[in-house]
């Protein structure tokens, strides 16, 4: 049985970042001036925006407007809008906004009205693929990495964006894969930057990852998801009492350990259904269920549809064995 000394914070954070498996893409490069605003729905994705030049405002449904400056990166997990003003008169959907731009410029990415004052690179990360990653709950709704406007240059962001823009400009063989990997890197680095800069004790979200015992329990469940874990066994492995682990885990993660484990197992089962030609029984064994029926019940409860229907929706071009 691994002991707490073997499971340090770096191990846990590495596992968290690996398991998120972001799939990034770029969908527009905008040069804007004059009054403008557009909104974006989360739709199961994390949206990101890089302010290459100028400034703008970010507004989420529940938060105060956030001022963005040149060099800033922002990753948003919820519905939001961007605008040139903290209080725009009207906000169109991104699709409508881009359609309007096509009337004024051949490539559709420039809004008229004088010299371009704000340049934005916008993209998204597909993080859910039908099931929300349990650890997304520990991230803040907005990840804001301040660049040059924050008084210093973020070297990793500058280098990644320089490479990304060069690849977008030349678009050759393999460019789509390279762009996707670079955007994945942006997400991972942004999470790392947030974890490094957020002060200790600033909130439960960060505490779940930094707490010695809860973090180690997360690592064990991720490393051995098919094991028949009980809270008492986890507690012994990380060196605390069952009651202490159950209380701290629920406080910091937002749900009891075995509830988290069940949703994590469904994430893994969904990944296997999309990527492997395995029977439902084989998948059940890998993620810790003794029968297909037990897996199906849990999968349907968490996902809202049974395993066969999930495969048809998320892997329509390949026939898996049910």
Which one, of 149, 97, 151, lies nearest residue 122 by Cα? 97
Residue 270 located in a structural domain? yes
Give me the pLDDT at residue 103, please. Answer: 62
Residue 162 located in a structural domain? yes
Q: How many structural domains comprise the chain? A: 2
Distance between CA 181 and CA 191 in Å, rounded? 16
Distance between CA 107 and CA 101 in Å, rounded? 9
For residue 249, is pLDDT > 60? Answer: yes
Distance between CA 300 and CA 266 in Å, rounded? 10
- Looking at 172, 197, 222, which one is the last position of a domain? 197
Measured from the Cβ of residue 284, the count of other Cβ atoms closer than 10 Å reads 24
Whether 27 and 164 share a structural domain = yes
Whether 278 and 305 share a structural domain = yes
The values of phi and psi at residue 191, to 5°, are -65, -40
Residue 36 located in a structural domain? yes
184 burial type by CB count under 10 A (0-12 exposed, 13-18 middle, 19+ buried):
middle
For residue range 33-77, list pLDDT tens digits in order: 888 899 988 777 788 998 988 999 999 887 788 999 988 899 998
**In the structure encoding, which two tokens stand for residue 179, read together?**
């762009």
For residue range 141-163, list pLDDT tens digits in order: 888 888 765 445 567 877 888 88
| Segment 179-191 mean pLDDT | 82
Whether 54 and 173 share a structural domain = yes
Q: What percent of the chain is predicted at pLDDT more than 90?
A: 23
Rounded to the nearest integer, the mean pLDDT of the chain is 78
Whether 160 and 212 share a structural domain = no
- Looking at 143, 170, 197, which one is the last position of a domain? 197
The number of CA neighbours under 13 Å toward the Cβ of 194 is 25
- Residue 294: pLDDT band (50, 70, 90) is very high
Whether 89 and 127 share a structural domain = yes
CATH code of residue 228: 1.10.10.60
Give the gyration radius of the chain's Cα atoms: 22
Residue 69 located in a structural domain? yes
Whether 192 and 225 share a structural domain = no
Q: 86-90, 109-113, 137-141, 294-298 — which one is most confidently predicted on average?
A: 294-298
Residue 14 located in a structural domain? no
CATH code of residue 144: 2.60.120.10
For residue range 189-205, list pLDDT tens digits in order: 887 777 666 655 444 45
**In the structure encoding, which two tokens stand for residue 234, read together?**
């986890």
- Looking at 166, 197, 228, which one is the last position of a domain? 197
The whole-model pTM stands at: 0.68
Residue 295 located in a structural domain? yes
Q: Which domain does 217 fall in, by range?
A: 206-314
Whether 256 and 276 share a structural domain = yes
Contact of 15 with 70, CB cutoff 8 Å: no
């Amino acid at each position: 049985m691994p002991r707490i000394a073997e499971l340090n914070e770096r191990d846990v954070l590495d596992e968290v970042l690996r398991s998120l498996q972001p799939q990034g893409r770029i969908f527009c490069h905008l040069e804007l001036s004059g009054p403008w605003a557009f909104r974006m729905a989360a739709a199961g994705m994390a949206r990101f925006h890089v302010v290459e030049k100028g400034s703008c405002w970010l507004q989420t449904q529940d938060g105060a407007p956030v001022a963005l400056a040149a060099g800033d990166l922002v990753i948003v997990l919820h519905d939001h809008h961007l605008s040139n003003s903290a209080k725009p008169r009207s906000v169109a959907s991104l699709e409508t906004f881009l359609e309007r731009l096509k009337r004024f410029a051949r490539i559709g990415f420039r809004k008229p009205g004088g010299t371009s004052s704000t340049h934005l690179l916008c993209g998204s990360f597909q993080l859910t693929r039908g099931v929300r990653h349990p650890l997304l709950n520990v991230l803040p709704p907005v990840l804001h990495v301040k660049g040059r406007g924050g008084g210093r240059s973020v070297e990793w962001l500058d280098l990644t964006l320089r490479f990304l823009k060069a690849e977008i400009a030349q678009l050759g063989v393999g460019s789509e894969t390279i762009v996707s990997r670079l955007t994945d890197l942006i997400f991972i680095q942004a999470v790392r930057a947030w974890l490094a800069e957020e002060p200790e004790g600033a909130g439960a979200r960060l505490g779940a990852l930094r707490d010695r015992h809860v973090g180690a329990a997360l690592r064990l469940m991720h490393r051995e998801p098919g094991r028949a874990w009980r809270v008492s066994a986890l507690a012994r492995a990380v060196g605390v009492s069952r009651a202490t682990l159950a209380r701290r885990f629920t406080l910091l993660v937002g749900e009891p350990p075995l509830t988290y484990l069940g949703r994590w197992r469904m994430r893994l089962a969904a990944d296997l259904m999309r990527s492997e030609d395995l029977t439902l029984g084989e998948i059940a064994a890998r993620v810790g269920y003794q029968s297909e029926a037990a897996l199906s019940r849990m999968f349907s409860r968490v996902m809202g549809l049974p395993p066969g229907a999930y495969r048809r929706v998320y892997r329509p071009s390949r026939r898996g064995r049910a």
